[in-house]
């Protein structure tokens, strides 16, 4: 499931080498190149590095639909004006099915926003995307934590820089309730569960949750497990789990499931406002946090994008450190795992090396673009060139602050990295049964392993 512009409006894109590369591209892109880099509009000074590409078009294909489309178009409007490139945006809710078909039919877009590293790897194996130009490589190296940027690589080759980044390692709570009860935001795993126990004593169920999501029912439970695996075992074991070198029915993942059982299957802890532990399986994930506003439930582990849900419960809801709701970072378990973060996002991938395509792909990897997009709202970038004061809402700012930490241990959502038969199939189904029918942990994990493709 998924920035902040202008610390400096001129992003030096990949240094002098990138500027020279793009300037060279500008004179060979078709149209009247004499109109090129002499645009006298002062607002275009910061865009001269991308060259001039009059009368050219770059097509973009993505799963991101309106109203977000309009915000993207706003964020590259000045780029279009100054470079002469027209960007044609196409969003589709059938993106993952349509993109391979279009590539096979010789109708690939110039740029696609790829939401899953596994899909990127599959497309590369089929000869689809082209490697990123040096200007994008330079930006990816300069502006991103390697543990995030590397998800744009396949076999060591970078195919694109990140676009947005989802922050999943958050806990939602009510500052109003915390203040009234004298609670403080926990900063360690032990303190988180000392607080949970205190809430039980005070007659509050500390945790609420819901994993019902139509055909995707079960995905929030996979997120909970991912948070624990990364915090207990670190990035290397997490990677081995994703590739099935470490099986689900291994001592490590079994222990993580036991930790999750003590948290979200603890009848003393859940599920206020809805019922017992089993109701987690039937409660829509969108509705799960509502009891927090009524003081019935203390906390909800859910991603940054859940911020959009609160207004459906209370029209004038205040999301702030002193408001109706806010969020804090889910603490680490093993202090040797530095700032573990589970997230998601997209990679800006090109299917053409035309000069105008390279120019646009480079712009999308710049702090200038990310800052403009962030200022438009409801979007988070892990580009460290974006000033935090560009964020217009506190949750996005909090998320960005954590994501740009160069020491953070970031890992992509594991279920999105695993084969679809597992990550979007057996794992969802079996985790749902684990809650709904109290299916045993061993059976749950063995059933997921059994679904792993043999090749």
User: 187 and 147, same structural domain?
Assistant: no
User: 186 and 267, same structural domain?
Assistant: yes
Decide: 278 and 435 in contact? Cβ < 8 Å.
yes
User: 177 and 158, same structural domain?
Assistant: no
User: 284 and 226, same structural domain?
Assistant: yes
Q: What distance in Å separates the CA atoms of residue 122 and residue 83, rounded to the nearest whole number?
A: 33
Task: Give pLDDT, residue 228.
Answer: 98
Task: Give pLDDT, residue 39.
Answer: 66
User: Does residue 1 lie in a domain region?
Assistant: no
Residues sharing a CB contact under 8 Å with residue 190, sequence separation 6 or more, in sequence order: none
User: Does residue 81 lie in a domain region?
Assistant: yes
User: 329 and 356, same structural domain?
Assistant: no
**Short-list 63, 62, 148, CA closest to 110:** 62
Cis peptide before 238 (omega within 30 of 0): no
Q: What distance in Å separates the CA atoms of residue 302 and residue 166, rounded to the nearest whole number?
A: 11
User: Does residue 4 lie in a domain region?
Assistant: no
Count of domains in the chain?
2
Task: Give pLDDT, residue 41.
Answer: 86
User: 365 and 274, same structural domain?
Assistant: no
User: 157 and 65, same structural domain?
Assistant: yes
User: 417 and 406, same structural domain?
Assistant: no
Strand segments, DSSP code E, in 53-160 are 56-62, 85-91, 111-114, 153-154, 157-158
Residues sharing a CB contact under 8 Å with residue 224, sequence separation 6 or more, in sequence order: 209, 260, 263, 264, 301
Provide DSSP, 399-438.
HHHHHT-TT-EEEE-HHHHS-HHIIIIIHHHHHHHHHHS-
User: Does residue 9 lie in a domain region?
Assistant: no
Task: Give pLDDT, residue 378.
Answer: 78
Domain that holds residue 397: 15-166+344-411
User: 304 and 427, same structural domain?
Assistant: yes
Against a cut of 0.85, is the pTM above it? yes
User: Does residue 5 lie in a domain region?
Assistant: no
Decide: 7 and 367 in contact? Cβ < 8 Å.
yes
CATH classification of the domain holding 53: 3.40.190.10
User: Does residue 151 lie in a domain region?
Assistant: yes
Task: Give pLDDT, residue 399.
Answer: 97
User: Does residue 6 lie in a domain region?
Assistant: no
Q: List the chain residues with pLDDT less than 50.
A: 1-38
pLDDT digit string, tens, across residues 341-354:
999 999 999 999 99
Residues sharing a CB contact under 8 Å with residue 449, sequence separation 6 or more, in sequence order: 244, 247, 248, 249
Decide: 242 and 418 in contact? Cβ < 8 Å.
yes
Decide: 415 and 423 in contact? Cβ < 8 Å.
yes
| Per-residue exposure over 291-317, b if at least 16 CB sit within 10 Å of its own CB, e if not | bbbeebbbbbbbbbbbbebbeebeeeb
pLDDT digit string, tens, across residues 313-364:
999 999 999 999 999 999 999 999 999 999 999 999 999 999 999 999 999 9
User: Does residue 59 lie in a domain region?
Assistant: yes
User: 325 and 185, same structural domain?
Assistant: yes
User: 230 and 200, same structural domain?
Assistant: yes
Q: What distance in Å separates the CA atoms of residue 170 and residue 160, rounded to the nearest whole number?
A: 27
User: 231 and 214, same structural domain?
Assistant: yes
Task: Give pLDDT, residue 24.
Answer: 38
């Amino acid at each position: 499931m998924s920035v902040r512009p202008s610390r400096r409006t001129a992003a030096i894109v990949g240094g002098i080498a990138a500027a020279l590369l793009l300037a060279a591209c500008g004179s060979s892109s078709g149209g009247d190149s004499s109109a090129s880099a002499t645009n006298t509009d002062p607002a275009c000074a910061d865009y001269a590095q991308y060259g001039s590409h009059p009368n050219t078009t770059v097509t973009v294909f993505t799963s991101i639909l309106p109203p977000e489309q309009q915000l993207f178009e706003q964020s590259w409007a000045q780029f279009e004006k100054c470079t002469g490139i027209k960007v044609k945006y196409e969003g589709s809710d059938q993106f993952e099915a349509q993109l391979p078909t279009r590539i096979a039919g010789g109708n690939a877009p110039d740029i696609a926003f790829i939401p899953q590293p596994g899909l990127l790897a599959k497309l590369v194996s089929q000869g689809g995307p082209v490697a990123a130009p040096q200007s994008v490589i330079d930006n990816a190296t300069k502006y991103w934590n390697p543990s995030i940027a590397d998800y744009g690589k396949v076999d060591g080759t970078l195919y694109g820089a990140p676009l947005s980044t989802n922050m999943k390692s958050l806990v939602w709570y009510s500052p109003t309730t915390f203040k009234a009860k004298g609670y403080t935001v926990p900063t360690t795993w032990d303190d988180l569960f000392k607080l949970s126990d205190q809430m039980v004593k005070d007659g509050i169920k500390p945790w609420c949750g819901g994993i019902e999501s139509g055909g995707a029912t079960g995905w929030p439970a996979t997120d909970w497990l991912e948070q624990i695996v990364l915090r207990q075992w670190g990035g290397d074991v997490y990677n081995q789990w994703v590739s099935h070198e470490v099986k689900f029915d291994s001592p490590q993942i079994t222990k993580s499931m036991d930790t999750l059982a003590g948290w979200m299957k603890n009848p003393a802890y859940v599920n206020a406002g809805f019922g017992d532990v089993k109701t987690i399986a039937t409660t829509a994930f969108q509705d799960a946090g509502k009891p927090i506003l009524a003081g019935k439930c203390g906390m909800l582990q859910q991603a940054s994008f859940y911020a959009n849900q609160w207004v459906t419960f209370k029209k004038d809801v205040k999301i702030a450190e002193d408001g109706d709701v806010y969020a804090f970072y889910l603490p680490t378990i093993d202090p040797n795992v530095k700032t573990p973060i589970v997230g998601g996002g997209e990679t800006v991938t090109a299917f053409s090396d035309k000069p105008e395509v390279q120019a646009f792909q480079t712009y999308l990897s710049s702090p200038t673009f990310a800052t403009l997009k962030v200022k438009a709202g409801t979007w988070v970038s892990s580009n460290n060139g974006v000033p935090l004061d560009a964020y217009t809402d506190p949750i996005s700012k909090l998320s960005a602050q954590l994501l740009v930490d160069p020491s953070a241990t970031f890992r992509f959502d594991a279920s999105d990295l695993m084969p679809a038969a597992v990550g979007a199939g057996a794992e969802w189904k079996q985790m749902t049964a684990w809650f709904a029918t109290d299916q045993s942990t061993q059976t749950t994990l063995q059933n997921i392993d059994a679904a792993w493709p043999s090749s």
